[in-house]
Each structure stands twice: as C-alpha cells, then as structure tokens.
Structure 1
Amino acid sequence: MTSLSRPGQSAAARGFGHAGLALLGLALLLAMLLWQGVLRHPWPTAEAWLAPLSSQPSLDGLLLWWTQLPRAFAGVLVGACLGVSGAIMQLITRNPLVSPDLLGITAGAQLGVILGMLLPGVLGLPLVFVGGLLAALFTFLMAGGWNTSPLRLTLAGVAVAQTFAALIALFLSLNDQAAMVVSLWNTGSLQQLGWGAMHPALYLLPLIALALLVLMRPMNLVVLGDGQMRSLGLSPAWLKGLSIALGSLLAALAIHLAGPLGFIGLITPNLLRFAFAVVRPSRLIPLCAIWGALLTVLADALVAAVEPWFQLPLGVLSAVLGSLAILLLLRYGRRAPVAAVTASMPGENRAMRLPLWSFVALAVLICLALLVAGTAQGESGVWSFWQRVWSGEPMAMTLLDLRLPRLLVDMAAGALLATAGMLLQAVTRNPLAGPEILGVSQMAALVVLLALIFMPELAVAWRFPLAWLGAGLALVIVIGLNLRHGLEPLRVTLTGFAISGVVLAVVSLLMAQFTSNIAQALIWMVGSSYGRTWSDLQAMLPWLVIGLALCAATTRWMDLLQLGDGVAGSLGLSVPSRRVLLIVLASALIAAAVAVVGPVAFIGLLVPHGVRLLGFHRARQRLLAAPLLGATLLASADLLGRVLLAPLDIPLGIAMAAIGAPLFLLLLSRVYFSDKRS
C-alpha cells in the first residue's frame, strides 16, 4: 500500500499490542465521556438521573439527558463513523491522505442538506448519503476508475468539490435563510437536542458492523494489489464499490449528526499507522472506531474548554487540524511513490498550428464581438441599441455604463488570471498548477473579505495590497513546504487543498458570526463581476499593463526553467532568485484579479493548456495568446451566466465553474500520468 508512514518502526508500537491499544483507547474514551457528559458540569442529583422516569423532570434532568449526554454520545458515534470511513477509503484507494473532504463527499453531503431544505417531505439522511455517495463515485469515475493514481484522484476530488461548491453557492445566494442555516451547519457541532438525530445511526450501525465483519478478510487482501486479489478469486471492483458505499454511508451518518468534521477520518488511520505501526486492515478498522471516537470527544472538549473566552466551532477546529495533519504528513512522512505529470499533453504534437498573429487577430475580433453583443444583450437589436447610444438616449447610455465596464473587467480579470497560471506552471514545472488548485485565489479573497468585515472604510482603498498579501502568503506556504521535494505535483496539490480547507472553514465561521450580508459573502467567495464600474476597471489597468510588461521581460527565464533547474543554471540563469521573482509577479497578477472579481476558478488552470493545444510553446508566444484567451473565456462565461437563467444573473464564478469543471475533468483524462519512485 502506498503510505507516508513508517510501519513497523515505531517505538510506541513495541509497548502496545493491538489489544492494549484498544483497551487504552477505551479507557481514555470513557474518562473523556465522563468528564464531557457529567463532570464538566455540577454533579447531577439523583432526581436528575431519574428524569427519564419522571412525568415532570427537573431542569437539571432535562439538561443532563437531552443535552449533555446526547452531545457526549454523539461524539462517540461521529468519531467512530469518521475513523472507520477514513480507514476504509485509505485502504481501498491505497492513498493515506484520502478523506471524505478530498473525495468530494462532504460537498455532496452538503448539497443533500440543501435539497432536504427544498424538499421538506423527504428525509434528510438519505439525501445526505446519496449526495456523498454520488460525489465519491463521480470522483472515481472522472479520475479514471479504481486503478487511478493518487494525484489523479486528488485533482478529480478537488474539481468535483469546487463544482458542488459552485452549485451550493448558487442555491444559497437565492435564499438568505437557507444560507444562514447551511453556514451554521458548516461550522460543525456535536450539540444535540435530544436523542432523535441519533436514531438512524442506532438502526444502521449494527448492519454496517455486520457488513464490515464479513468484508474484513477480503480487506486484508487489498494490500496485495488487484492482480493478487483476482488470482485468489476476489473481484476488486465489487470490493471497492461496496467499501466506498459503506464508507460514504458512515461519513453521511457523521455529517448528518455534526456537520463536516473530515479531520477525524484523515488523522485517525495515519496516527495508528505512524505512531503504533497498525497496518493490517482487520486490526486497523476496529481501532479506528475507538480512537476516532476518542479524538472527536477530545476535540469537543477543547472547544468546550475555550468556550468562555472564544467561540471556536468544532468544524473550524477540524479543518485546521486536518490541514495541519496533511502538512505534517507531507513534511515528515516517508517519501512515497508519487504520480509524476509530464509538461505535455497527449496529442500535443498534433496540436493546431495556428499562426500566432492570426490567433491574436481572431481573439481580438471575438472580444470586440462580445463587447458589442454583450452590451446590447436583451435589447431589440444590436444595431438599433448602438444607434441609440450614438444618439445619446439616456436609457441606452445607462445600460452602456452598467454593462460595458463589467465586460471589460471580466476581460481584464481573465487576462490576469490566465497569465498568472502560465507563470505558476512555469515556476513549478507542473501543468496542473493553478491559482485555485494551490489555494492562492481563495487566500487572497479571504484576506479581502476580512477587511470588508472588520475594516470596511479601508477595504476598498487597500483591497489590492490586501489581496496581494493573501496571495503571496499562500504561495510562500505552498512553494516553501514543497521546494525540498522538487515541487512534486501530489504534494503541491495536497498543500493547496489544505490551505483551501482552512479558508473555507474561516469563511463559514465569518458567515455564521456576521449574518447581515451572508449572500454577498457567498457570492464574493465564488467570484462575481456584478455591479463593477469604470472605477474598478481603472484600478485594474495599471496592474494589467505593468504586469504584462514585466512578464514580457521574463520570457527568457520561463523558457529556460522549462528545461529544468540544472540546465537553466548551466546557461547562466540564477534559478532561485528568478523563481522568487516570478512567484511575486504571479501573486500580484492574481491579487489584481481577485481584488475586483473574487476567486474565479479554472481560468488560470485551463488557459495555459489551451494555448499549448493551439501550438504555442515558446513563452513569448504564450504571453500573447494566454491573456487574450483568458479574456475571451471569462467574458463568455459572464454572458452565459446572464443569459442562461435570465432574468436571474448567475455569478461569474458559478458560470465559469459550469464551463471550467467539465473542461478540467476532460483535461485530467488526457494528461499523461506515470507512477515512479522518487
């Protein structure tokens, strides 16, 4: 099994057998349950303990039996479900960094929660389960099936999660009340009002435990590989499909009770492997149930301990701990086989050989056509509208002032993000690097959102430097943590996933605490150019002009970096300093776009590939083609969002996700992957 741990080499493992680990975990769990359920509060009276038998229970009895004890036992159920779910998924995928979040299960379950609000007659848990299961299966399907590589699975999970997030943002932006409920749910909590929410788990868990008991022996064969499983008469596809269904059901039960707490499913199996050398699935899965419950109750105890001074939601804590766990595993875990990505794509040698200046002329014409037709969209005729503008008709001039700057802002943002994506792919030599995959756009948007909430009088004037600060911070984290590993694509992608997880958790916390403009905050974190004016365009232009000019001065660096650090250094290029300068420049371009339209996804990831497929490989050629293609694509997405559900105006980021996610998944199916040992 592909693992980042050191099985068999732990000092702690020599002191504990599997039975000892189970007893230790149970003892600690019972102690925490006693403290969390009873001792943290004044000792209940005899009358309180007998409250279920009383026709008129006291207030202390109600608090004990309908608040304190349900919360404690919910922690056990949630932790056990997530621990076992994470163990199953990591075993089946042979990827120790898989979790419900990474497979898109959490986003699918969240979509199920929203559907449950829209369909009040339907039970919530089945929708949560179906949403999570469909997300997991879709992730595997888009990643290439059960034999997918860890990198391909990670990227497909990120793309599916972003697609679901865009759909969720669209639903919530139309309903402030639902947005508030989902935002509170996103923060995660074990708080229960009675035992009713746990009834489905009590019915289903014995059946799931029986199914796992039957599957325990076949799961021991998973570590041997698919070929050995087939030779022993076991169908890998059936085993993996059933395991994913059980893992998704366990995750759905936990999410239904407590919201998204994905860190338990990630940390628990790795803790047992790394610290206690537990590798055998038949031992790992039961231990994950015990230690997952313990970790969840411990996390809830930490939340309760800081509650008098700071309201720390359990979901936010889980996102932070999960992200730290990913970074620690990447930093200190044994270097495992990773999926390498080539800098080319299948069929690139057969790419279109369109003359550069022909493409430039065609792209400029398309942009002009989008401006002319988009400004007149919805009017009786394009020609008649522009005649009214020429004659100075007030209504036509008003529409011009509303629509033309918005389209120009779209084009400027598309050009900035596309160019930034080209720079990032040159710096990392990773054709799957992009502002959204690395978490750069999300961090920049979060910093601006914090300023809008806490310093609204300064946010507008300082939005560009603030966005630059966020983008630069994310890039420093990603590059700094992975430079010693040669910026391996899987590690870089997982680092970006960890950053995005923290950002989403903080955004959920902000929306739950500051409820006045929750829909606007949702739309901002997806990306929108609605209401952008000439002043926004004027603020972006210096960044665009100066940024492209500086990029023109770095084309030789980018060409040399594509040859590798050794070759570039032998040709006289100071690789470390040039890489830093390119990172700073890329972060500035991302910041300029995010500060105005928010973290619009997929542009910086897709456009560099589109440029290469058009036959442009030299940096100077790509620098001319990428901004034009990015401008065309983003303006087209905005027009699509305006027309598709008119008069509803779909936010730019959601419309771009509708275009970009299918294209990215198609790209993912075409990019060459090869497993190799570093």
Structure 2
Amino acid sequence: MVMPSLYLDNSHKWRWILSSLLLLCLISLSILWRDSGAPAWQTLFADAESLSLDGLLLQTSVLPRLVMAMLAGGVLAVCGVLLQQLTRNPLAADNTLAVSSGAQIALLIVTLFFPKLMLWRADVWAFVGALISMAVVLALSYKNGLHPVRMILAGLILNLYLGGISMTLMLFYSEEARGIMQWSSGSLVQDGWQDVQALALRAGMVFVAIAVLAQPLSMLSLGDEQAQSLGVPVLPLRLIGLVLAAFLCASVVSMVGMMGFAGLAAAAASKHLGLRSFKSQSLAAFAIGALLLLLTDTVLQILALRTGWLLSTGAVTAFIGAPLLLWLIFRALPKPLVQDHKDYAHIAPFSRPTIAIMMVLALTVLLVSLWVAQDAHGWHISLDRDAWLLRYPRLLMAAAAGIMLATAGVILQRMTLNPMASPELLGISAGTAAGVFIAILLGVSSSGAVWLCGIGAAIVTLAAILFCNRNSGLQPERILLTGMAIAALFDALINVFLAAGDPRAQSVLVWLSGSTYQATPALAQGLIVAALVLLVLSLPLARCLGLLSLNSAMAQALGLNVALTQKALVVLAAILTALSTLMLGPMCFVGLWAPHLAKFLGFHKPLHQLMAAATIAVIAMVFADWLGRQIVYPYEIPAGLMATLLGGAYFFRLMRKL
C-alpha cells in the first residue's frame, strides 16, 4: 500500500485514509455486483422473498463479507496498537505473541474432543486459549522487564510449538480437522449478518472500555516508574488491557479464523503517520486495518471469479505481512537482549565416565528400538528377524537426521555466536520445505530434482539471513528474528497451498510431520552413510569454529580467512539441514538443544561438541521415533513431531535462563 507524502499534516493523511476506504468499498461492490434486476437501494433493503438469486447473494453474502473484512481488519489493528502500547514493543501483535494461535488450537481441541461445547459458545473457548497463550508468553518474557526481543522470541516459538500440536491432531483426525483448519486459516465467507453483528457488538464494548482507559494507557509510554508517579496503576491497567486484547483477538479468530499479519501491518502503518497519542493511533490503525484486509479480500475474490482459485484470505495476508515483520526487525527493535554472547552457564570439563554413559545409553536406545514393542497382547521383546528388517531402516533414518541436525546446530551456534541458533529457528528448515513445495507445484517428478530444489532453497535462505544482518554485527537476536520472519514467509506460502484444497495436501502433511515409515533399507543405508560423511567433513572445521567463537577480527588476525570459512560453513549447514528436513520434515528442535546438552555435559571444545551433540541427537531421534510408534499404539506419532513436542519444552526452559 503506497502512502501519500509524509510531509502532509495529519488531517490530510486522515482524509486520504478515509477517502481510500470509501472508494475501495464502492469499487468492491461494483466489481462483485451481480445484476439483481432492481436498483441498489431496493436490493439492499428489500425483503429476501422478493429478490432474485443474484440480489439475495448480494444482500446475504457479498455485502456482509465486505463489512466483515473491514471490521475484522480494524479490530485486529486496534488489538495490535493496544498490545504495543501495553508492552512497549513495536513488534507486538496478535500473531507475534501467539494470541491467535492459542485461540485457534483451543477451537481445534474443543471441536475434536468436546464438539457439544462448540454449540454453546465458540468464542469463549477461543478466549480461554488466547489468554493461556498470552500468559505463557508473559511468563517467559517477564524476566528483564518484558524485553521486546524476549517477547517476540517466546511468541514466535510458541506459534511453532502450537503448530506442531495442530499438525499432530490433523494427522490423527484428518477428516474431522480438515474443515476447521481450512476455515481457521482465514476465511471471510459469510452467509448472513449474524457474525457481523456479533463481532460489531463485542468490538464496540471493548472500544468503549479502551476509550475510557485511553488517558492512562497513553501514560504507559512514559515508562512504568513515571506512570506510577502520576498515579497510574500500571500492573492492573496492563492486565486489564491484555485481557481486552485477548478478547478482541479471540472474537475475530472464532468467527473468521486467523488473519495473518493484518493487525501488525496496520499498527505499524499508524505509527508512521506521525500520530502521537494512543487514541489517534488506534483510530488510524482501525481505518488502515479495514482498508488492508478489504483490499486483500477483494483482490482474492476477483482472482477467484477470473481463475477459479480459492485462496485463503488469512494465509495470503500472512504472506504479504511477513516482509513487514522483517523490515520492522531492523527499524524498530531496541538494543539486543544478550550483550555477552559467551556461554551463559558454567561448563565443567567432561570426564571418561560421561562418555561411557553416553555410549551405553546410545546402545540401550538402539536395542530397545529394535527389539522392544507392544502389540494387541501388550509389551514384549521380539527377536524375530522380520521385525528387525522392518525396524532397522527407520532407526537408521532417525539417527541420520539427528546427526545432521546436531552438526548443523553446532555450526550455526558457533558461527553466529548465538546460543539459540538452530536450523529450525533460523528458517532453514522452512526454506527447504518451501523449495520442495515449489518443485511440486512446478510439476517436478524426479525425487533427485526435488531434493536439489530443497538443498538450493536451504542455501539461499541461510545466505539471505546472513546478508540481511551483514551491517548489524551478526547480533544473535536479530539473526534469530530474521530467520523466523523468513520462516513465517515460507510457512505462509505453504499454508496457501494447503488451504487451497489441493489433493496432494494430505501426503504433503504426512511428510511435513516427519515420519520414518517410508524408510527402505537402501534409502536408510545411504542416508546414514551421508550423515556420517558430512559429520567427518565438519570435524576439520572445528578449529575454524573455535576461532570464530572469539570474534571475526581476532580470527582474521590469527590467519583465518573469515569470509571463505563462513561461506563454507553456510553451505555445509544448509546441506545438513536440507537433507534432514527432506527426511523428517521441517519441525524439530534437536538442532537447538543437542549442542546445549553437549556443552552442559562438558564438551565445550568445537571438536568434542560436534561428536557429543551428534551422539545425543542419535539417542534423542531414535528414542522419539520409538516412542512415537508405541505411546498411542496402534496409532503412530511421527518422529519429527515427537521430537518437536519434546524439544519445545527445552526451548522454554532456555528462554527462562537467558
């Protein structure tokens, strides 16, 4: 959206916004108009029985959808401004703080397991889910005074974690969950005015409350101490404001699903209009949000009429808004959260008993995965050769993925001096998945070509992250947020594909979940050999990783060609990530916590850390694959999802330590 000159005064800007909104409404009606055989005013207000089919569609579908688009966009925009004011965080919004994701997962769980409760009040359960997600984000980020970077990291990772839960539920209840997942990805389709009226009523009540609290809310921008000195009850006001924001978000999600980055985009645009007060920013954001969502939905409706493509409004909005999040990371973020990028915990040297215990544990897990299982008669130890032939390819594939993810995690954490860097959090896994999706959409049928597309996309993604951060000193938080913004862009692209109803979506979902059930002996043997070869190739780079851990200038002074080394590490990490993603899908936290656990056990030198992290990852992935096959027998949780669900808990623990 191109704004007029920023040198215009605020009144002219307001006139431009309102005029554009009115003009777009008229254009939308004219484009989507169907000849009803009667004048417009008669069609809009006539009795339904007296209208033709086209006139009835205009009255009960086209016009309610237009109003709902404006209302939902405006409500999410006000929600974004309110969250930013309460947290003093320029990136805060319903999606970046996982409020929308919490509402969505709550609706999904209630729909699948307690469907009768949905007949009561869907918005209540969405509100409960939004509150719980917001509470988790605040609990993780309350240390250091709700630091903006900490909040966004907690919110975006919680989004990933909840996404893993959603995908698990979709695999087990594919038929029941497909409809609600397609709807919750963002659909403005209406069959009357009931939802519009309900959302308008709830939003109106919250807006009245916000108007009453506008003055004390404005004082929060002065800081907590100054606001308290002026008599503002900061903590109660913040809690009330957060509840109001959660209620607004849950109301929208319960009626039209998730609308991507619409709220963040409108809130950011309102701040760049030069408006100073909270009240004026909220009003401007409402108008901009309404304009943005209406414009997006109108374009999609035109596209549907011309081509027959039925794209989700929410998924497309997320696709458009992800670059905005990337831009805001560099324009609006404060100073970094972690000033000292050294190890955050004291590391004791490893001992030989530690190595022996790891070896024994690895052997135990491998044997249990091969021989211990349950069937209709309960748990038993099976030494049958046929069972061994079925299980060992899955074991090898899970181990190969673990080795690759752990090696890539060590390389990325050492290279970027970022204790939270990993293939999953930097968006490399999502980039690989996007490359595969693009290959599938282009009709690529050769598996080798698909794999090459995935590897190429991973290399491009990591190179783009480093390029975007070349002038910021590779600050860990900015690298991490850049990767997550790029991951959000790729995820939006994938969601557009899944929400379009393509018949290949279910098979793609199985791959995204990270299952090893398609492993064959030849494939598994080839992958484990490739993983071990790549691990061996990374060992000579241990000295380079050690020098890079000092800093680039010192490493250069010690004779290291920093630029060439970084390029080699980028390519190696991207290949490792791409291969593991192609095996087990894009979601897994092994690349994050295996290097940390290796350090915790005393393997703090790069060479030792590489070997220990690979061993730990093998144990973790083989155990995750075995546990996923047994925990809900006769059903199965894929290894990638199982590792994601287990590893996400470690990330939240790590957030509390930083």
Q: TM-score range by the shorter chain?
A: over 0.9
Given residue 237 of structure 1, which amino acid in structure 2 is its aligned partner?
Answer: L
Q: Distance in 2 between matches of 1:507 and 1:602?
A: 20
**In the alignment, what sits opposite 2:407?**
419
Give the one of 465, 483, 501 matched to 1:478: 465
How far the C-alpha of 1:422 sits from its partner, in A, is 0.6
Q: Distance in 2 between matches of 1:352 and 1:650?
A: 36
Give the one of 160, 163, 175 matched to 1:162: 160
The alpha-carbon distance between structure 1 residues 214 and 176, as it changes in their structure 2 partners (threshold 3 A), is same
The alpha-carbon distance between structure 1 residues 295 and 230, as it changes in their structure 2 partners (threshold 3 A), is same
**In the alignment, what sits opposite 2:252?**
254
**In the alignment, what sits opposite 2:385?**
397
**In the alignment, what sits opposite 1:76?**
70
How far the C-alpha of 1:335 sits from its partner, in A, is 6.6
* Correspondences of 1:204-223 after superposition (within 5 Å): 204-223=202-221
**In the alignment, what sits opposite 1:319?**
318
> Is contact 1:638-1:651 (8 Å) kept?
yes
Given residue 98 of structure 2, which amino acid in structure 1 is its aligned partner?
Answer: G
Residue 338 of structure 2: SS of its match in structure 1? strand
**In the alignment, what sits opposite 2:54?**
60
For the pair 1:580 / 2:567, whether they are aligned, the reply is yes
> Is contact 1:82-1:262 (8 Å) kept?
no
**In the alignment, what sits opposite 2:145?**
147
The alpha-carbon distance between structure 1 residues 286 and 586, as it changes in their structure 2 partners (threshold 3 A), is same
> Is contact 1:180-1:511 (8 Å) kept?
no
Q: Distance in 2 between matches of 1:131 and 1:335?
A: 28
Residue 420 of structure 2: SS of its match in structure 1? coil
Q: Distance in 2 between matches of 1:494 and 1:515?
A: 31
How far the C-alpha of 1:517 sits from its partner, in A, is 5.0
Q: Distance in 2 between matches of 1:204 and 1:627?
A: 53
Percent identity for Structure 1 against Structure 2? 27
**In the alignment, what sits opposite 1:22?**
14
For the pair 1:359 / 2:360, whether they are aligned, the reply is no
Identify unmatched segments of 5+ residues in structure 2: none
The alpha-carbon distance between structure 1 residues 541 and 200, as it changes in their structure 2 partners (threshold 3 A), is same
**In the alignment, what sits opposite 1:32?**
24
The alpha-carbon distance between structure 1 residues 650 and 35, as it changes in their structure 2 partners (threshold 3 A), is same
Residue 425 of structure 1: SS of its match in structure 2? helix
Greater alpha carbon shift after TM alignment, 442-451 vs 80-89 = 442-451
For the pair 1:97 / 2:58, whether they are aligned, the reply is no
| CA offsets 1:565-620 (integer angstroms, 9 cap, x no match) | 11111111111111111010001111121111112321111111111111222111
Residue 431 of structure 1: SS of its match in structure 2? coil
For the pair 1:288 / 2:285, whether they are aligned, the reply is yes
Q: Distance in 2 between matches of 1:215 and 1:334?
A: 26
How far the C-alpha of 1:344 sits from its partner, in A, is 3.8
**In the alignment, what sits opposite 2:500?**
513
Residue 97 of structure 1: SS of its match in structure 2? coil
How far the C-alpha of 1:500 sits from its partner, in A, is 2.0
> Is contact 2:149-2:333 (8 Å) kept?
no
The alpha-carbon distance between structure 1 residues 667 and 341, as it changes in their structure 2 partners (threshold 3 A), is farther
| CA offsets 1:439-479 (integer angstroms, 9 cap, x no match) | 111221232344456547412x3443232112112112211
Residue 372 of structure 2: SS of its match in structure 1? coil
| CA offsets 1:226-268 (integer angstroms, 9 cap, x no match) | 1112222323222222212211222222223332223221111
Identify unmatched segments of 5+ residues in structure 1: 1-9, 387-395, 672-678
Give the one of 105, 109, 120 matched to 2:103: 109
**In the alignment, what sits opposite 1:393?**
none
How far the C-alpha of 1:334 sits from its partner, in A, is 6.1
Residue 339 of structure 1: SS of its match in structure 2? coil
| CA offsets 1:49-95 (integer angstroms, 9 cap, x no match) | 25543534221221111111111101111111111011111122222
Given residue 610 of structure 1, which amino acid in structure 2 is its aligned partner?
Answer: L
> Is contact 1:360-1:628 (8 Å) kept?
no
> Is contact 1:86-1:266 (8 Å) kept?
yes
How far the C-alpha of 1:341 sits from its partner, in A, is 5.3
Q: Distance in 1 between matches of 2:203 and 2:622?
A: 50
How far the C-alpha of 1:323 sits from its partner, in A, is 0.9
Q: Distance in 1 between matches of 2:562 and 2:208?
A: 58
Greater alpha carbon shift after TM alignment, 462-471 vs 82-91 = 462-471
**In the alignment, what sits opposite 2:543?**
556
Q: Distance in 2 between matches of 1:384 and 1:513?
A: 46
**In the alignment, what sits opposite 1:531?**
518
> Is contact 1:221-1:229 (8 Å) kept?
yes
Given residue 378 of structure 1, which amino acid in structure 2 is its aligned partner?
Answer: A
TM-score, length-scaled by structure 1: 0.90
For the pair 1:571 / 2:558, whether they are aligned, the reply is yes
> Is contact 2:410-2:595 (8 Å) kept?
yes
> Is contact 1:112-1:130 (8 Å) kept?
yes
For the pair 1:46 / 2:39, whether they are aligned, the reply is yes
**In the alignment, what sits opposite 1:604?**
591
> Is contact 1:74-1:257 (8 Å) kept?
no
How far the C-alpha of 1:343 sits from its partner, in A, is 3.2
Give the one of 490, 493, 501 matched to 1:503: 490
Given residue 482 of structure 2, which amino acid in structure 1 is its aligned partner?
Answer: T
How far the C-alpha of 1:510 sits from its partner, in A, is 2.2
Q: Distance in 2 between matches of 1:191 and 1:515?
A: 19
How far the C-alpha of 1:481 sits from its partner, in A, is 0.9
| CA offsets 1:534-561 (integer angstroms, 9 cap, x no match) | 2221231342122112211111110000
Given residue 498 of structure 2, which amino acid in structure 1 is its aligned partner?
Answer: M
Q: Distance in 1 between matches of 2:30 and 2:144?
A: 46
Give the one of 416, 419, 431 matched to 1:431: 419
Q: Distance in 2 between matches of 1:593 and 1:519?
A: 21
TM-score, length-scaled by structure 2: 0.92
The alpha-carbon distance between structure 1 residues 457 and 292, as it changes in their structure 2 partners (threshold 3 A), is closer
Q: Distance in 2 between matches of 1:191 and 1:463?
A: 36
Residue 378 of structure 1: SS of its match in structure 2? strand
Higher RCO structure (Cα 8 Å, ≥6 apart): 1
**In the alignment, what sits opposite 1:390?**
none
| CA offsets 1:293-317 (integer angstroms, 9 cap, x no match) | 1121122223234332473432232
Q: Distance in 2 between matches of 1:145 and 1:552?
A: 38
**In the alignment, what sits opposite 1:342?**
340
Given residue 326 of structure 1, which amino acid in structure 2 is its aligned partner?
Answer: L
Q: Distance in 2 between matches of 1:383 and 1:201?
A: 56
Greater alpha carbon shift after TM alignment, 155-164 vs 306-315 = 306-315
How far the C-alpha of 1:364 sits from its partner, in A, is 2.5
Given residue 487 of structure 2, which amino acid in structure 1 is its aligned partner?
Answer: S
Q: Distance in 1 between matches of 2:280 and 2:197?
A: 28
> Is contact 2:433-2:586 (8 Å) kept?
yes
Residue 29 of structure 1: SS of its match in structure 2? helix
Greater alpha carbon shift after TM alignment, 409-418 vs 128-137 = 128-137
Paired positions, count: 646
> Is contact 2:373-2:379 (8 Å) kept?
no
> Is contact 2:326-2:486 (8 Å) kept?
no
Given residue 591 of structure 1, which amino acid in structure 2 is its aligned partner?
Answer: A
